[in-house]
């Protein structure tokens, strides 16, 4: 029996595999596609996801394969200077294609010992008190203690579970693809600049090697957005919107997406859990989708590992849904707002002008960017210190940085007093005594995902909080 089967080898599933293997959990990742996809759905990592990679010691791989850009234009495409004083050491966006992100995470998961099987489609599941039986399309049956569906917006695992996926259907549809074109680059840029004055769901971005990423509104809604558009459909829509088809040809891939927003009613049903697009879908405005899924996995991994190893407190695994469901709901809400601001109507243009003026105030600009980058998240741990529930930014410690002490995915007590102890939990929590640590509290207890679970200076109080997140003392 495998400890965990993960359905889906996208960024969410691969990140979860990495997190579970850090905790010595036996992991099998299944993906129905025989090869990694060439489709570049997402183009970058926001600050919180960059922090996640830094916390696990693999950020240098991503930086070597990407390009940093200023944090502007991410809320409804409204261009303002990057806000000042963001609560992060990574105040930028990392431009990196989703295909590269998946390759880097796949490599890391393999290094840690995860097994990845491609060309394996999940078609059935059955769970009981001891585990989950997973049926594959070729008739093979696999057994696991837990199954996690990271298999996208059309999740088979979610459908087999029978949980609801309520929300709002698409009202508009957009075509997206990568293709070559014969038009002169200067002429293309001139047309794009003119069209985008009134139609913001349009764009042509050169990718190099003669290819361009093309975005153009569709003529209407299709019954099945899983069916890709044809090149001729692209040509017709480019001509209708821009007055020219730019001589597009030789597409690498073509797709379509809508503006539907949906969220599953449950993130966990017994031994089966959902993460990433399997749990929530929304328009790609703000570039939040991949990041939201990676952060789902970062929240879930250590909790599921604790459950498997037998030290998880009674409700620890359920806290995954309790914490991540409101985060996804907030992303659905802000993408709805952005889609309204991107509409080519006079009312939407007036709203954009108003919001653009408000974003001249640094507080407004920063508030919106912190939403997009997910560094504003505070999980509800109860009415305690304002730092509790938030992730702690990378701060200086004696001899290095905080994130350098979190590569193994363990809890961490930063102790400026020298009077505290994690005896009994030393197999799950590291203890750093540092009188000069750059934190404004005497001591802080961090969960493996970097969120602050407790602050204070009293040993008895600490002993009341350790079991909540790390179970009984050994």
**Per-domain residue ranges of the chain:** 2-166+262-373, 173-258, 396-470
Per-residue pLDDT, 227: 86
Per-residue pLDDT, 421: 97
- As beta bridge partners, residue 452 has 446
- Rounded Cα–Cα distance for residues 202 and 137 (Å): 39
Calculate mean pLDDT across residues 239-250. 96
- Rounded Cα–Cα distance for residues 448 and 451 (Å): 8
CB atoms within 10 A of CB 407: 13
> For residue 466, what pLDDT band results from cuts at 50, 70 and 90?
very high
Per-residue pLDDT, 29: 98
> In Å, what is the CA distance from 216 to each residue of 20, 390, 403?
40, 39, 41
Pairing of strands 141-149, 2-7: parallel
- Fold (topology level) of 396-470: Glutaredoxin (3.40.30)
**Please, are residues 359 and 368 in contact by the beta-carbon 8 Å criterion?**
yes
Pairing of strands 122-127, 261-263: unpaired
Q: In what order do the strands lie in the sheet with 67-69?
A: 44-45, 93-95, 67-69
Per-residue pLDDT, 202: 94
**Please, are residues 455 and 388 in contact by the beta-carbon 8 Å criterion?**
yes
> For residue 162, what pLDDT band results from cuts at 50, 70 and 90?
very high
Nearest by Cα to 203 from 149, 246, 262: 246
- Rounded Cα–Cα distance for residues 383 and 392 (Å): 18
pLDDT value at 442 more than 90: yes
By mean pLDDT, which of 3-17, 107-121, 158-172, 211-225 is the weakest? Answer: 211-225
- Rounded Cα–Cα distance for residues 397 and 417 (Å): 14
- As beta bridge partners, residue 223 has none
CB atoms within 10 A of CB 71: 24
Per-residue pLDDT, 223: 79
* Residue 1, C-beta contacts closer than 8 angstroms, at least 6 positions apart: 131, 143, 144, 145
Q: Most distant CA pair in the chain: distance in Å?
A: 72
**Run of H or E residues at 186:** helix 185-195
**Please, are residues 399 and 405 in contact by the beta-carbon 8 Å criterion?**
no
One of 3.40.50.300, 3.10.250.10, 3.50.50.60, 3.40.50.720 is the CATH number of 2-166+262-373, namely: 3.50.50.60
Query: 51-66 burial, b if ≥16 CB within 10 A, otherwise e?
Result: bbbbbbebbebbeeeb
**E-strand stretches of 265-410:** 268-269, 272-274, 280-281, 396-397, 400-401
Tell me which architecture the domain covering 173-258 has in CATH. Answer: 2-Layer Sandwich (3.30)
pLDDT value at 164 more than 80: yes
Using one digit for the tens of pLDDT, what is the confidence trace for 62-83? 999 999 999 888 899 899 998 8
- Rounded Cα–Cα distance for residues 353 and 465 (Å): 48
> For residue 210, what pLDDT band results from cuts at 50, 70 and 90?
confident
Per-residue pLDDT, 297: 98
**Please, are residues 352 and 337 in contact by the beta-carbon 8 Å criterion?**
no
The three-class DSSP label of residue 176 is: strand
**Please, are residues 274 and 168 in contact by the beta-carbon 8 Å criterion?**
no
> For residue 382, what pLDDT band results from cuts at 50, 70 and 90?
confident
pLDDT value at 31 more than 80: yes
What percentage of the chain carries pLDDT values higher than 70?
Answer: 100
**Please, are residues 147 and 132 in contact by the beta-carbon 8 Å criterion?**
yes
Nearest by Cα to 474 from 431, 405, 422, 411: 422
**Please, are residues 380 and 452 in contact by the beta-carbon 8 Å criterion?**
no
* Residue 315, C-beta contacts closer than 8 angstroms, at least 6 positions apart: none
Per-residue pLDDT, 84: 80
**E-strand stretches of 343-402:** 396-397, 400-401
- As beta bridge partners, residue 298 has none
- Rounded Cα–Cα distance for residues 218 and 234 (Å): 8
Per-residue pLDDT, 73: 86
């Amino acid at each position: 029996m495998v400890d965990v089967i993960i359905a889906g080898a996208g960024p969410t599933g691969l990140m979860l595999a990495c997190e579970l293997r850090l905790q010595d959990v036996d992991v099998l990742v299944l993906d129905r596609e025989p090869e990694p996809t060439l489709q570049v759905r997402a183009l970058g990592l926001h600050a919180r996801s960059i922090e996640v990679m830094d916390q696990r010691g693999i950020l240098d791989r991503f930086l070597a394969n990407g390009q940093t850009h200023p944090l502007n234009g991410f809320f409804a495409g409204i261009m303002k200077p990057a806000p000042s004083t963001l609560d992060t050491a990574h105040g930028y966006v990392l431009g990196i294609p989703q295909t590269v992100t998946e390759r880097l995470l796949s490599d890391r998961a393999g290094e840690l010992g995860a097994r990845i099987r491609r060309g394996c489609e999940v078609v059935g599941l059955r769970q009981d008190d001891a585990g989950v039986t997973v049926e594959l399309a070729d008739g093979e049956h696999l057994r696991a203690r837990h199954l996690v569906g990271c298999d996208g917006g059309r999740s088979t695992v979610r459908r087999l579970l029978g949980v609801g996926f309520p929300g709002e259907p698409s009202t508009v549809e957009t075509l997206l693809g990568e293709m070559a074109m014969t038009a002169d680059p200067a002429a293309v840029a001139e047309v794009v600049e003119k069209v985008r004055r009134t139609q913001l769901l349009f764009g042509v971005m050169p990718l190099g090697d003669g290819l361009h990423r093309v975005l153009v509104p569709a003529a209407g809604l299709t019954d099945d957005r899983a069916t890709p558009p044809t090149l001729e459909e692209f040509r017709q829509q480019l001509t209708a919107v821009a007055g020219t088809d730019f001589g597009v040809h030789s597409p690498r891939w073509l797709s379509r997406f809508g503006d539907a927003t949906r969220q599953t009613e449950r993130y966990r049903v017994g031994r089966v859990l959902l993460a990433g697009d399997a749990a929530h879908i929304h328009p790609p405005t703000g570039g939040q989708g991949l990041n939201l899924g990676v952060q789902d996995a970062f929240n879930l991994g250590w909790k599921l590992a604790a459950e498997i190893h037998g030290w998880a407190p009674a409700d620890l695994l359920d806290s995954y849904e309790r914490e991540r469901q409101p985060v996804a709901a907030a992303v659905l809400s802000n993408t709805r707002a952005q889609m309204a601001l991107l509409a080519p109507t006079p009312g939407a243009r007036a709203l954009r002008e108003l919001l653009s003026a408000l974003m001249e105030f640094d507080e407004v600009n920063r508030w919106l960017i912190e939403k997009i980058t997910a560094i504003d998240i505070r999980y509800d741990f109860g009415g305690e210190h304002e730092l509790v529930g938030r992730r702690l930014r990378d701060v200086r410690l004696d001899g290095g940085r905080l994130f350098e002490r979190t590569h193994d995915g363990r809890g961490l007590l930063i102790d400026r007093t020298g009077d505290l102890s994690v005896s009994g939990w030393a197999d799950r929590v590291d203890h750093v005594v540092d009188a000069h640590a750059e934190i404004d509290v005497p001591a802080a207890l961090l969960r493996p995902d970097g969120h602050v679970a407790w602050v204070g200076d009293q040993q008895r109080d600490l002993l009341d909080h350790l079991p909540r997140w790390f179970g009984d003392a050994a």
